Structure 1
Amino acid sequence: MNPKLLPKIFFVVSSISFWGAMSATAQEIPKQEVQSKSVASVVHNSKLIREIRQLSQIEHPKTNAQMLVQSPAPSSEIVQVIGVKATPTDKGVEVILQTSKSAQLQITNRSTGNNFIADIPNSQLRLPNGDAFTFRSEKPLAEITEITVTNLDANTIRVTVTGNTALPTVELFDDDTGLVFGVVSAATAAQPPNKPASETPPQTPPSAQSDQPIELVVTGEQDGYSVPNANVGTRTDTPLRDIPQSIQVVPQQVIEDQQATRLTEVLKNVPGVVTGGRSPRDPFNTINIRGFSALSQTLLNGVQDRSIGFVGFGSNIERVEVLKGPASVLFGQGGLSGQVNLVTKQPLRDPFYSVEASAGNYNAYNSAIDLSGPLNDSKTVLYRLNASAGTTESFIDFYNQQEYLIAPTISWQISDRTKLTLEASYSLTQGPYDFGIPAVGSILPNPNGTIPRNRSLSEPDLNNAANGAFRIGYNFEHRFSENWQARSVFQTSLYHLRRNILAPLGLEDDLRTIDRGIENFKDDENTYNLDNYVVAKLATGGIKHELVAGFNLSRTDTTTSDVFSDTTTLDLFNPVYGNVTENFLPDFNYESRQQQLGFYLQDQIALADNLKVLLGGRFDIVNAQFRDLLNQTSDFKQAEAFSPRVGIVYQPIQPLSFYASYSRSFDLGASAFGTGLPEPERGTQYEIGVKADLTNRLAATLAFYDLTRTNLPTSDPNDPRLTILVGEQRSRGIEFDISGEILPGWNIIGGYAYTDAIITEDNNLPVGNQLTNVPKHALNLWTTYEIQSGSLKGLGFGLGAFYYGDRQADINNTVELPSYIRTDAAIYYKRDNYRAAINIRNLFDTDYFVSAQNLNRIIPGDPLTIQGTITWQF
């Protein structure tokens, strides 16, 4: 069978499955009118996503001592709870249940032993976006094993709070934001003098002492674009406003609303990040962060994985986190301009199944499945399986690409304190390269005319590449106590690239004929990464510390070979394909091994509730071995580097943070081999900024930075055959980003970046030249609105504008890419378990150039593209 047909077959089968299942279940899904009110945040796999008001800040019309009793919901109407939200408070933890409509719910206490149990009849839990039909928070407090909210049966929700040794203290409140379960820490509960918390009699409300019914009103809605916590900046689940460095998260909801299928499409939502020197249609996700290349500066679940920049973004990705600026203090070499962390979807405790199919112009077909649930009755062993297949053509001649992904994950909750997760994936992209067209005849005038934007400079049958990666690893976590935990992570990435391509080289003097060459290229890159660290919460007097200490050991083995041949030229204005000659000669063949051992220590210090300091440092020993198999030569380099980070955060009020930081990084890759000095490239950044939670669902960051790269290779003025490391480049800029919900149903993610990236020292290039593919001004804005009530409830609209200013196409600054604005739009409809959407990219069919690899490879952007998508969750 032709492998190109597989995605289309997958698409057809998925579509039939979708419509068949919809027909079978259409009568089973209750229809409801929705009256939503804004509330705070969701917990996904015990990770807090947004803070809500504390119990002390809520004006409670009734307390647990005098519960509000109302008429229960009619037994014939099932009320759907569409969200469960939780956050720590000064008394413990708040949990809010949210429904799709205002409703009166009856709550019956079933507490027994160490379990506070509340049953809510005439209700059903239906969490959106892959959260299946359960909520679970592990170890939210020292004395609480877990909090779960799940469906007891078809029309009853059960809320369970499990204590370690005693019945938990739970307070119930009726508030405008919803039904509030206040789980009170034993440390704050009333106790006899000098008596430990564990010996304190349970302080439970009347509702927790009998089967007395309690009826409360519940309202609310789900989270969307705002994610206030991220792990990438500190290796701890720290609110972004407490981290003295710019971090932005693109959550799952944004990825879904935009139907982004490539990493570069996701990152257009992050100011300061732009497409690098390759086509966005190629598998390589070339990006620049703050003016500098970040192709290999990628992480997978917080672990360095260079191959993610080549292939790996797919339907198994939950969200994308971007840490801007040097990051060697946590991740070792690299990260001069920032790190991009891909967070994968994790197993769920209750069965969850999703089928998605999409189709678009240029014969684009994609299908994906997402399956999850328990593998045993006790739900201690869970699985998740993501798989997808896609095929697409393009406006470019002879272009056809296929993409495949399969990603299984298994988690084992060995005990209430120990968890092991095994994760694997295989990604494969097959198809041609997009070489663009020369600047002369596209941006610059050509006496022969204008080169068609769809012109292929290759050959129909000599432009093929297979780009794949197999990844496997484990994540072992053990919590010794509430304040001490250890983590061990191991990840292997086996990357391979095979390409047989005919590529353009340079224009001849007639400005219509281009020279070309053929190459057969092979590259294998195997990376092994082991990271072990502990997290400890301590106190010295009134000063609180959160320590992270660990070591990292990694190795990358690379084998690369290439044979090359000049071949026939091509007339750009009257091309004749198929007349190709070959005379291959070996170009290069080498092996290399790079090893890294790093030790790191970080301390997040809370000097006061509104004054926090971050101190961190890492010491690395890196060596690189190189063998030239053609010339029978070898080389060895070793370097040591210390990478510090210092930051301070001051919060005059809790929602507002002023911060300043200093950080450094290193990278041996640029100076590992050849005649240069064995000193690594260094990056140094100073940053100040302000972060603000404008509301409890809308946050913004404003950052100013000065980033310098030093020890860059340049020619020795005394001997041009030699290289010395005195080159220097600098980037200064301003970045602003905002994301979250403005009003109920109205979401936004946007930003602005001013980037001035120039050469400041070099013996070959003019000082002051702008770096390539870096616009001084860039603006991104995407907003959606979803109707919240009435007969059109669930109907949503999206609109976005992405502006990029003039950029240099070459480092000599001889050609400039013109500025452009691209407009995207979307319309979608969500109802119960299904979602249908139409996404339009480049709505006004604007002609633009997205990037440049060199003066003979200027990459045009995609024209008007339309994609329709149907998703069903069950």
Structure 2
Amino acid sequence: MAVNFAAIAGTARSITDSSQLPTMLILKLATAAALTAFSLATQAQSAAVDTSPSDPSSKNASDAQSGSEATALPAIHVTSKRYRFIGTDTVLNSRSAARNGTPLTEVPQSVQVIPRELIEEQDARTLADALVNVSGIVPSQPAENGLVANIVRGFPAEIYLDGLPMYGMSAANSPASLVGVEQIDVLKGPVSTLYGGGLGAPLGGLINIQSELPEAERGGYVAMRTGSYGTVNPYFDLTGALTTSINARISGEYEHAGSWIDQVKSNKWSVKPSVSFRLNPRTTLLVQGQFNHSSQLEYSGLPAAQALAGQLDRSAFPGAPVGQPRTSFDSQLATIQLQHDFNDNLRLTFSGRYYHSSIPEHGSFVYPAAFPPDPATPTTYPVLPLNMQTSTNEATFDANVLAKINLLGGRHALLAGVDYDHTDFFSGMGLAGVPIGMQNLARPDYNLAFVALTPLTLTQTDRYQTIAAYVQDQATYGRLHVNSSLRFTQLAFREAEQGTNHTYHHVSPRFGASFDLTAGVAAYAAYATAFRAAFGYVGVGSPKPETSENIEAGLKLALTDIGLSGTLALFQQTHDNVATPDPSNPLFSIQAGQQRARGFETDLVWEPVPAFSVLMNYAYTRATVTEDNTIPIGNTLARVPKHSGRIALRYRVPNGPIKGLSIGAGMTAFSAREVTLPNTVAVPGYALFDAQAEYSFGRYSVGLSAVNLGNRHVYAPYQYLSFPVVMPVQPRSVYITLKAHI
């Protein structure tokens, strides 16, 4: 069997373990005590808090800590839930796009922002739930929470937290909880000029999760969510002042749930404390922590062809559940940010983070290509066990200076900075390749027992060290806004087992411009590049870095008079030096591949009145192989639909006897998607409907949400060892949430 180690590293990692119950009881008691103490402290200090606009501990100053402009927001942002978030700067802004608070209509790049209000109103509990609101994204499933990245414009995107990486090559940093998240910024295309670390820079796009920050005003909530599959999900978010110069915040979540997959149950918890210090009127220090745990019985997917033909039990667990240890994911990170404003036009920001994760993985799966079922019993498969251990340690920091000056007839925001990243990665796999028994996936009985763990024989020990310098000029000349930037990167890339020991030097340019055609309408065009090391490459000599190039153009709308905002974009993105199997030696790779995505995207929000909003997105994406030595030219990239889109409506009763009631509904649709590359089997397209309702009264609210209202029995592509497997989409499920605001 040809083993592609990069694919092996993509084994799904999932969610918790009943063996953690005693630990969880201790955690709950400790959390309850901490919340009580925190609430008492905030009440005691609330009378002494100075909430004047000059206080950096106020909300606007907290925003400034993360690099945004401390700009007063319109009062409507406080009194209503109008979004205007897709591609506009009317109410919300993206601190990620240019790192200088530039309005999004002046940023020559498709950037979408998912605000807290939308996350809460749609009852989005995972990153995948939230990302369907942005065009051109194929979210990875929570059960794929391993090295399976979200896809943006046909290519893998990376997840950052507050502008810093959490080991850039791994999607296992997908947040365990969206509680305590202020907004999610999606930057489409290469963003290597301002971001990088680990293996290099994001090639396809960046998903930057912005945390909610400590505030001076005491507030927050506690909530309980329950519903289908025995879900029990308490969560909280509390903030307030500890002293006149120290603010604190703590958020957390615990969830225990069953699954529509037989035998699978999951647990997860997350705790996120943060403290901000006002060292002096112009200097702030922010300290953040995060502790995450999740685990579940690892799911390996159903053989695609038979599942799609209706020959298998769609809820079947394709493995040996008796005695199979749970796969778990534990991570801890600590972040520190120091910001000093020399004056209104000169700012210094320093950010640093240490990240650690550990993933002991245990799985069982079927592999029809090597171990097919007996023709006499075509739904009974041999089951193989595996176990893996993966650990990551990453230290990263970024320091930059932002200066705003008038020069050469225009207004310039000059950003110059350096960053450093050191990552140690280890992955080992034990795979005996010997079946431990048979499982009938049409009528499973689940009597098959897991076996003793196999020694870790396939190992990968990597070290990456990045040193980079970057500069950006965001210039405005009347109605013309020009962004030009450049990054120089030195990446030392070591892979012990493959014998790779190479240092890359790379220059990444980026250039774009937007022009205000009229009030609220801007046209833009941009060019950007990126590079990253070839993770998992096994071949002769040192691999070349994989590179990407993106060209896009479009319109940005911020028509406040009619409540219409959004982005329309045309794009072409090309990836070179893609590693593909060597036809003369299937255990090795050669870099003969090129892949390209072309398409059109639109993200719109229409809000004719504050009580009613419509979100609409659509993407046409043609993502194909354009050069390769083994894969047929023209094959479609796996998991990427040609057509995808979503529409979501929300109505909020503004007055009358049922004031406080809001209702929403949405539809998400995908056209057919290939399961693997080369293309062998495709999942048919489908549309799913969801709905939500919430009633707020005083400090309390009760919410109801439902997914897959039509109870469609459809499948989604699933990634496990690059096998052609699928996962059934969640059936109709209903949840209720009770929330009390502090």
Q: Would you call these one fold, judging by a TM-score over 0.5?
A: yes
Kindly indicate whether the alpha-carbon contact (under 8 Å) linking 1:14 and 1:356 is maintained by their aligned counterparts in 2.
no
* 2:160 equivalent among 294, 299, 319: 299
Query: What is the deviation of 1:455?
Result: 0.5
Asked if residue 287 in structure 1 is aligned to residue 150 in structure 2, the reply is yes
SS of residue in 1 equivalent to 2:496: strand
Partner of 1:415: 280
Gaps of 5+ in 1: 19-114, 118-132, 150-176, 180-218
Larger mean Cα displacement after TM superposition, 238-247 or 669-678: 669-678
TM-score (norm 2): 0.86
**Aligned equivalents of 1:788 and 1:304: distance in 2?**
41
Query: What is the deviation of 1:11?
Result: 9.8
**Aligned equivalents of 1:728 and 1:662: distance in 2?**
19
* 2:578 equivalent among 701, 704, 712: 712
Partner of 1:319: 183
Please give the per-residue CA displacement for 1:19-71, whole angstroms capped at 9, x wherever unaligned: xxxxxxxxxxxxxxxxxxxxxxxxxxxxxxxxxxxxxxxxxxxxxxxxxxxxx
**Aligned equivalents of 2:63 and 2:713: distance in 1?**
54
Asked if residue 484 in structure 1 is aligned to residue 353 in structure 2, the reply is no
Please give the per-residue CA displacement for 1:202-236, whole angstroms capped at 9, x wherever unaligned: xxxxxxxxxxxxxxxxx983243223211111111
* 1:246 equivalent among 90, 94, 110: 110
CA RMSD across the alignment: 2.9
Partner of 1:667: 532
Residue 230 of structure 2 aligns with an amino acid whose one-letter code is: N
Partner of 1:617: 486
Asked if residue 369 in structure 1 is aligned to residue 236 in structure 2, the reply is yes
Partner of 2:466: 596
Please give the per-residue CA displacement for 1:71-99, whole angstroms capped at 9, x wherever unaligned: xxxxxxxxxxxxxxxxxxxxxxxxxxxxx
Matches within 5 A, 1:349-388: 349-376=216-243, 378=244, 380-388=245-253
Partner of 1:626: 495
**Aligned equivalents of 1:359 and 1:139: distance in 2?**
33
Query: What is the deviation of 1:653?
Result: 1.5
Partner of 1:226: 84
Matches within 5 A, 1:83-232: 136=60, 221-227=79-85, 228=89, 229-232=93-96
* Higher RCO, 1 vs 2 (CA within 8 Å, ≥6 residues apart): 2
Partner of 1:38: none
**Aligned equivalents of 2:536 and 2:428: distance in 1?**
21
**Aligned equivalents of 1:831 and 1:13: distance in 2?**
30
Partner of 1:104: none
* 2:356 equivalent among 494, 507, 511: 494
**Aligned equivalents of 1:722 and 1:855: distance in 2?**
18
Partner of 1:216: none
Matches within 5 A, 1:466-485: 466-485=328-347
TM-score (norm 1): 0.73
Question: For residues 272 and 467 of structure 1, do their structure 2 counterparts lie closer, same or farther at Cα, with a shift above 3 Å needed?
Answer: same
Residue 293 of structure 1 aligns with an amino acid whose one-letter code is: P
Query: What is the deviation of 1:814?
Result: 2.1
Question: For residues 840 and 9 of structure 1, do their structure 2 counterparts lie closer, same or farther at Cα, with a shift above 3 Å needed?
Answer: farther
Asked if residue 866 in structure 1 is aligned to residue 739 in structure 2, the reply is no
Query: What is the deviation of 1:563?
Result: 1.6
* 1:451 equivalent among 307, 312, 328: 312
Query: What is the deviation of 1:147?
Result: 9.9
**Aligned equivalents of 1:494 and 1:720: distance in 2?**
34
Residue 261 of structure 1 aligns with an amino acid whose one-letter code is: R
Partner of 2:256: 391
Please give the per-residue CA displacement for 1:363-388, whole angstroms capped at 9, x wherever unaligned: 01101121211111x2x111101111
Query: What is the deviation of 1:667?
Result: 1.0
**Aligned equivalents of 1:400 and 1:569: distance in 2?**
23
Kindly indicate whether the alpha-carbon contact (under 8 Å) linking 1:676 and 1:725 is maintained by their aligned counterparts in 2.
no
Kindly indicate whether the alpha-carbon contact (under 8 Å) linking 2:538 and 2:589 is maintained by their aligned counterparts in 1.
no
Partner of 1:831: 697
Matches within 5 A, 1:24-63: none
Query: What is the deviation of 1:579?
Result: 3.7
Asked if residue 679 in structure 1 is aligned to residue 544 in structure 2, the reply is yes
Matches within 5 A, 1:693-732: 693-695=558-560, 697-715=563-581, 723-732=589-598
SS of residue in 2 equivalent to 1:331: coil
Partner of 1:513: 380
Partner of 1:78: none
**Aligned equivalents of 2:152 and 2:575: distance in 1?**
13
**Aligned equivalents of 2:593 and 2:328: distance in 1?**
36
Kindly indicate whether the alpha-carbon contact (under 8 Å) linking 1:687 and 1:703 is maintained by their aligned counterparts in 2.
yes
**Aligned equivalents of 1:739 and 1:494: distance in 2?**
39
Kindly indicate whether the alpha-carbon contact (under 8 Å) linking 2:277 and 2:286 is maintained by their aligned counterparts in 1.
yes
SS of residue in 2 equivalent to 1:442: helix
Question: For residues 825 and 676 of structure 1, do their structure 2 counterparts lie closer, same or farther at Cα, with a shift above 3 Å needed?
Answer: farther
Question: For residues 138 and 715 of structure 1, do their structure 2 counterparts lie closer, same or farther at Cα, with a shift above 3 Å needed?
Answer: closer
* 2:365 equivalent among 503, 506, 527: 503
Question: For residues 798 and 14 of structure 1, do their structure 2 counterparts lie closer, same or farther at Cα, with a shift above 3 Å needed?
Answer: farther
**Aligned equivalents of 1:730 and 1:139: distance in 2?**
38
**Aligned equivalents of 1:816 and 1:699: distance in 2?**
35
**Aligned equivalents of 1:762 and 1:822: distance in 2?**
36
Kindly indicate whether the alpha-carbon contact (under 8 Å) linking 2:552 and 2:570 is maintained by their aligned counterparts in 1.
yes
**Aligned equivalents of 1:316 and 1:764: distance in 2?**
46
Asked if residue 465 in structure 1 is aligned to residue 327 in structure 2, the reply is yes
SS of residue in 2 equivalent to 1:330: coil
SS of residue in 2 equivalent to 1:441: helix
Question: For residues 334 and 860 of structure 1, do their structure 2 counterparts lie closer, same or farther at Cα, with a shift above 3 Å needed?
Answer: farther
**Aligned equivalents of 2:72 and 2:139: distance in 1?**
43
Asked if residue 436 in structure 1 is aligned to residue 304 in structure 2, the reply is no
Kindly indicate whether the alpha-carbon contact (under 8 Å) linking 2:291 and 2:331 is maintained by their aligned counterparts in 1.
yes
Residue 868 of structure 1 aligns with an amino acid whose one-letter code is: I
Kindly indicate whether the alpha-carbon contact (under 8 Å) linking 2:312 and 2:379 is maintained by their aligned counterparts in 1.
no
Asked if residue 795 in structure 1 is aligned to residue 658 in structure 2, the reply is no
Larger radius of gyration: 1
SS of residue in 2 equivalent to 1:230: coil
Please give the per-residue CA displacement for 1:230-283, whole angstroms capped at 9, x wherever unaligned: 11111111111010000001100111011111111110111100134xx44343
Question: For residues 670 and 742 of structure 1, do their structure 2 counterparts lie closer, same or farther at Cα, with a shift above 3 Å needed?
Answer: farther
SS of residue in 2 equivalent to 1:253: helix
Kindly indicate whether the alpha-carbon contact (under 8 Å) linking 1:667 and 1:681 is maintained by their aligned counterparts in 2.
yes
Query: What is the deviation of 1:640?
Result: 1.1
Partner of 1:48: none
Larger mean Cα displacement after TM superposition, 767-776 or 285-294: 285-294
Please give the per-residue CA displacement for 1:668-720, whole angstroms capped at 9, x wherever unaligned: 13476542543210000100010011226541100000000001123566877
Partner of 1:750: 616
SS of residue in 1 equivalent to 2:308: coil
Larger mean Cα displacement after TM superposition, 812-821 or 794-803: 812-821
Asked if residue 338 in structure 1 is aligned to residue 205 in structure 2, the reply is yes
Question: For residues 721 and 676 of structure 1, do their structure 2 counterparts lie closer, same or farther at Cα, with a shift above 3 Å needed?
Answer: farther
Q: How many residues align?
A: 676
Kindly indicate whether the alpha-carbon contact (under 8 Å) linking 2:500 and 2:541 is maintained by their aligned counterparts in 1.
no
Residue 473 of structure 2 aligns with an amino acid whose one-letter code is: D
Please give the per-residue CA displacement for 1:561-590, whole angstroms capped at 9, x wherever unaligned: 222232222222343433447473543123
**Aligned equivalents of 1:554 and 1:476: distance in 2?**
18
**Aligned equivalents of 1:233 and 1:375: distance in 2?**
33
Partner of 2:555: 690
Partner of 1:65: none
Asked if residue 270 in structure 1 is aligned to residue 118 in structure 2, the reply is no
Partner of 2:476: 606
